[in-house]
Chains A and B, each alone.
Chain A
Amino acid sequence: MNNKFDALKDDDSGDHDQDNGSPKDGEKERNEDEEKDQNTTKKKAVVPGAGEHPLQYNYTFWYSRRTPGRPASTQSYEQNIKQIGSFASVEQFWRFYSHMIRPGDLTGHSDFHLFKEGIKPMWEDDANKSGGKWIIRLRKGLASRCWENLILAMLGEQFMVGEEICGAVVSVRFQEDIISIWNKTASDQATTARIRDTLRRVLNLPPNTIMEYKTHTDSIKAWEDFHGLVNASGGR
């Protein structure tokens, strides 16, 4: 378990880049260095403490923010994303959560990500590359409550889809906020339907709420079309 971050780095090197035809090796290296610095203090596996309630999986909180004034296409997504920390029990989750601002109070173009430990909140991660996500657009004012309900359902294993869930994201944008939950296999309709139904139930959504399923392959294609194929695996 000690070298889980090394494992992540391996994912990003060599064949992975080739898979994506990503032409930006230099940038990749820089990211790896940054990541190494960021993670040097986190080599030890997180475990539940005495008397704590273990979770089915360990999870990691991430935060990302688009730097104002720079077009998205020149920024690497990976460069902008920071690990906040990992936890293995209900109590450890609350320690992080209680020390983080609520998404509704975030400013600018920013996101919280909560992913299973070892899965990067990126389309290209092995766990995500054949996957997709349910997206719900929320009017301003609802994000904090919906995000909390969403992640509590995920941590408490309410989705009942085996290993399928990868993580959840809340994205704070100019006029709306978006929450999404990512799963491994976009083509597994029984799973995606079950996730949708669970979302409706745990988020207590009004019946007319629009829910949209998007495969990551489509997201990547849309992103590449929009940015003219530059910098493929990077930004959003």
Chain B
Amino acid sequence: MSLNSQTTSSRAIPATRRVILSDAAQLPHDYSSTPGGTLFSTTPGGTRIIYDRKFLLDCRSSPLAHTPPSCLPDIPGVTSPPKNNKTHPRERVSCSSSIPPVDKATGEDAQFEMDI
């Protein structure tokens, strides 16, 4: 994209915004962000769905993220129930669909009631 050409029909880059950093520590932690915010149109390998760590961690608190997955196999000591021991993973093993959002979870645990 050329800034000084008057002949092309492309539009100028909108308002320049400068972000002054006084220390390297203020640099974002990931390649996909620029100081002051995320700004990118394409990335190497094409347009991709990019999330930084903080965003992903924030999603964890969404009610959508709490429903136990359907079809979770019971592997003792590995797919343990969360926080308390009220739920029994074994009950969840049999199911016909792997599309998780639909949840027919065992209902006993308060944490899951709000999803239903």
Using a CB–CB distance below 8 Å, which chain A residues touch chain B? 41-44, 46-47, 49-56, 63, 82-87, 90-92, 94-96, 98-101, 106-107, 110, 149, 152-153, 155-158, 160-163, 198, 201-202
B25 at interface, CB cutoff 8 A: no
Q: A107 to B72, Cβ gap below 8 A?
A: no
Min CB–CB distance B49 → chain A (angstroms): 4
Q: B69 to A99, Cβ gap below 8 A?
A: yes
In the complex, number of A-B residue pairs with CB atoms less than 8 Å apart: 139
Q: B50 to A158, Cβ gap below 8 A?
A: yes
Q: B72 to A85, Cβ gap below 8 A?
A: yes
A residues in contact with B64, CB < 8 Å: 49, 51-52, 91
Using a CB–CB distance below 8 Å, which chain B residues touch chain A? 29-32, 43-46, 48-53, 55-57, 59-60, 62, 64-69, 71-73, 75, 77-82, 89, 94-101
- Using known A-B contacts A157-B48, A158-B30, A201-B29, determine if residue A95 contacts B78 with beta carbons closer than 8 Å: no
Contact residue among A90, A158, A202 (Cβ-Cβ distance under 8 Å from B59) = A90
- Using known A-B contacts A90-B56, A90-B59, determine if residue A100 contacts B78 with beta carbons closer than 8 Å: yes
Q: How far is the CA of A93 from the CA of B70 in the complex (A)?
A: 12
Q: B53 to A95, Cβ gap below 8 A?
A: no
25 A-B pairs (CB sep. < 8 Å): A41-B71, A41-B96, A44-B97, A46-B99, A49-B100, A63-B78, A84-B79, A85-B69, A90-B51, A90-B59, A91-B64, A94-B59, A94-B62, A96-B69, A99-B81, A100-B79, A101-B78, A101-B80, A155-B51, A156-B50, A157-B32, A158-B50, A160-B44, A201-B30, A202-B53
